[in-house]
Amino acid sequence: MLTKFQTMIYIAVMLIVTTLVCAEKQNLGSNNFIEGIISSNAVQSTPNSFVELDFSVVDGESWDAKDQPNNIVTNCINGDTITGFETSNIIIETVGRSYFSEAIIYFSDSNQGDDNSIKFRVGAGNHSSGSMSFSTSSILDITDTGNVDVVSLSDSKFYIQLYEETDDSPNTIDARYISGSLKVWGVNLEMTANCPYVAAAIEADLALEYTSNANDILPTNEIINFDITINNLSNILATNVVLENIISENLQFTSLTCSDDVNIVVTEEAHSISLGEIAANTSIQCAMKAHARGFGEIINSVNIISDNDPDISNNSITLIVRGSPQSVPVNNLYALIILLLLIITSFIYTPLMTKVKS
């Protein structure tokens, strides 16, 4: 049985503890799913694509406060504009006293600054801990909340950072996204090859087309045009694309230009050409010019490689063109004439000798 004095001490201690906890957790997390830059002049873009992040493949780990070194920062999305979000059965498991509403998925351009970014809160308004599934009934449009869409810079890259609005336990995980999917809607969006939240390794599929305007015997110094097309047949961005170009010894290289602004006039530079990235379902066209300069077949080969195109069955083509005819050197011309005369004479002389003997 507590005395009156003991009871008063107990109540005081509880009040102090409660006050300290409340002070530490004064930021319980917003009730808003989307937070960014508010503007009355926000222009609504019409989405035409989405990228789906699947947390059943790899957990999304929410560690510390924004921009701390433990946080996951990744370039999962490329494109023009992020316009909205849609969640489907995303299960969040909090750790310790962390709340669902404190876990943030932060989207920004490649500068990763707050001037062009959006905070998306899967568990908005839920100031409790534990394990819970979250879904939206529709697409949450950024401009519907008065915020501005996230627009990429000239590199067309977006970055994602997972962090805690209130970091209850520094240097440890505060929450995990363990399953479900997040669709990020926008304009011309595509998944990158290095995004961890995909069901399987993302593979592009590059295919070559290689033709020439020469299809017959060529006179020496004739200009030959070669057309090369690199097609990305997949819905995935092809990364670190390199065109390998083997030029016949019977050709004198002149130039090679590509639709991505590649312009080469030096032979040594034309053997291996970096094309960077090729967007999903797009192509790069290259045109090469050369002069026929020697007798024999002209055998040219092209090969395309990429960091995320493991199927090389359609990545190489060899082209064979009939080369210049062999010319007879002038100093051997007389010998050839004498040889022909001897052959003709032998045909005439042999019948005459036969008649004389008879």
Is 297 a residue whose pLDDT tops 50? yes
Q: Are residues 172 and 227 in the same domain?
A: no
Is 21 a residue whose pLDDT tops 50? no
In which domain, by residue range, is 146 found? 28-191
Q: Give the 3-state DSSP-derived string for 20-48, with helices as H, strands as E and coil as C.
A: HHHHHCCCCCCCCCEECCECCCCCCCCCC
Is 162 a residue whose pLDDT tops 90? yes
Q: Are residues 174 and 221 in the same domain?
A: no
Residue at 248 is within a domain: yes
Residue 59, SS3 per DSSP: coil
Both structure tokens of 52: 């789906």
Q: CA-CA distance, 127 to 101, in Å (whole number)?
A: 6
- 221 burial via Cβ count (<10 Å: 0-12, 13-18, 19+): exposed
**What was the pLDDT predicted at 348?**
64
Residue at 65 is within a domain: yes
Q: Are residues 151 and 251 in the same domain?
A: no
Q: Are residues 38 and 186 in the same domain?
A: yes
**Tens of pLDDT along 1-14?**
556 555 556 555 44
% of the chain at pLDDT higher than 90: 60
Tell which residue, 341, 298, 344, 295, has the closest CA to residue 320. Answer: 298
Tell which residue, 264, 310, 308, has the closest CA to residue 288. Answer: 264
Report the CATH number at residue 36: 2.60.120
Q: CA-CA distance, 63 to 102, in Å (whole number)?
A: 11
Determine contact, residues 236/79, Cβ cutoff 8 Å: no
Q: Which of the four pLDDT bands, split at 50, 70 and 90, describes residue 332?
A: low
Q: Which of the four pLDDT bands, split at 50, 70 and 90, describes residue 235?
A: confident
Q: Are residues 137 and 178 in the same domain?
A: yes
Is 343 a residue whose pLDDT tops 60? yes
| Residues in contact with 5: Cβ distance below 8 Å, sequence separation at least 6, in sequence order | none
Q: For the stretch 241-253, what's the b/e string if a residue is b when 16 or more beta carbons lie within 10 angstroms of its beta carbon?
A: bebebebbebbbb
The neighbour count for residue 317, using CB atoms within 10 Å, is 16
